[in-house]
Amino acid sequence: MARLKNKVGLITGAGSGIGAECARLMAREGAAVALTDLDADAVARVASEITSDGGRAISLAQDVVVEAQWESVLAQTREAFGEVSILVNNAGIAPNGEHVEEMDFEEWRHVIAVDLDSVFLGCKHGVRAMKTHGGSIINVSSIMGIVGNPGSGSYNAAKGGVRLLTKVVALECAQNGYAIRVNSIHPGYIKTPLVTDGVVSIAAREGEQTPEEVLEMITLRHPIGRMGQASEIANAVLFLASDEASFVTGTELVVDGGYTAQ
């Protein structure tokens, strides 16, 4: 149970859903973890749960679109635990379901900022922080970075951007001789607040479907017959973070119950 022994991880958006589950699992596997989130109270709760279970964790408030805060959270993590060797760029928001022809430019820019600009900033400062000693950067994209979906234009564009940015950063690290692996992960639908709140807004917009009917429709798109759980994504992140993935860089790991296989 120590696949991340002696490693130090920073996980964004760790106050909820997938990020919280990644932080819990990484701590159980021996890493010291810094959990960051816009929601300072939520992330403090998850961090204290981890420390009560005997893990090593701190929580930090961070807005992932503010560049100066990246320098600050990386410095505070280093101060608490030593050099950061795992970065999970996980924080993200869902689109509001509008089609492109009706989408407000501000809404487009907001989703691109939180879901794509943040990953650029994380990679930029993560590479700077890790280049002398190496590490693993995991960017949480989505199946929506591979296939399109009506009403998700900004989200699809952002997650597709994360997919290719990941490959570029992986290649740049390799070319520069940095021992940093960079990969993206592509979850199918996972039952977290991002989906359950998003589903309610889709149902409200469509008018003719209840949230339960929308969830059923989403479930049916997964050949495996169900939506995923945050722990199933955390297990894939754990693999990419660990030395078991020492030859894995620039790849996209799809964890989607067969959604994109059809």
Of 155, 178, 189, 259, the catalytic one is 155
* Range in contact with ligand NAD (rule: CB under 6 A) among 63-71, 72-80, 129-137, 163-171: 63-71
Which residues between 228 and 247 bind ligand NAD (CB under 6 A)? none
Q: What is the DSSP letter of 26?
A: H
- Please answer whether residues 90 and 19 qualify as being in contact, where contact means their C-beta atoms are separated by less than 8 angstroms: yes
> How many residues of this chain interact with ligand NAD, rule: CB under 6 A?
29
Q: 178 catalytic, yes or no? A: no
Closest CA relative to residue 86, chosen from 196, 8, 2, 172: 8
93 binds ligand NAD (CB under 6 A): yes
187 binds ligand NAD (CB under 6 A): yes
CA-to-CA distance for 148 and 73, rounded, in angstroms?
A: 34
* Range in contact with ligand NAD (rule: CB under 6 A) among 34-42, 46-54, 74-82, 203-211: 34-42
In order of 44, 158, 229, 251, the CA distances from 179 in angstroms are: 31, 27, 31, 16
Residue 56 main-chain phi, psi, to 5 deg:
-110, 120
Using DSSP, state whether 48 is helix, strand or coil.
helix
Q: Minimum distance from CB of 87 to ligand NAD (Å)?
A: 14
Q: Minimum distance from CB of 188 to ligand NAD (Å)?
A: 7
* Range in contact with ligand NAD (rule: CB under 6 A) among 13-21, 24-32, 125-133, 247-255: 13-21
- Please answer whether residues 121 and 69 qualify as being in contact, where contact means their C-beta atoms are separated by less than 8 angstroms: no
Residue 245 main-chain phi, psi, to 5 deg:
-100, 30
Q: Minimum distance from CB of 6 to ligand NAD (Å)?
A: 27
74 binds ligand NAD (CB under 6 A): no
Q: Is 210 left (phi over 0), alpha (psi -120 to 50) or beta?
A: beta
Query: Please, which residue, 12 or 242, has the CB nearer to ligand NAD?
Result: 12
18 binds ligand NAD (CB under 6 A): yes
62 binds ligand NAD (CB under 6 A): yes
- Please answer whether residues 62 and 39 qualify as being in contact, where contact means their C-beta atoms are separated by less than 8 angstroms: no
Enumerate the active-site residues.
Answer: 155
Interacting residue ranges for ligand NAD, rule: CB under 6 A: 12-13, 15-19, 37-39, 42, 62-65, 90-93, 114, 140, 142, 187, 189-190, 192-195
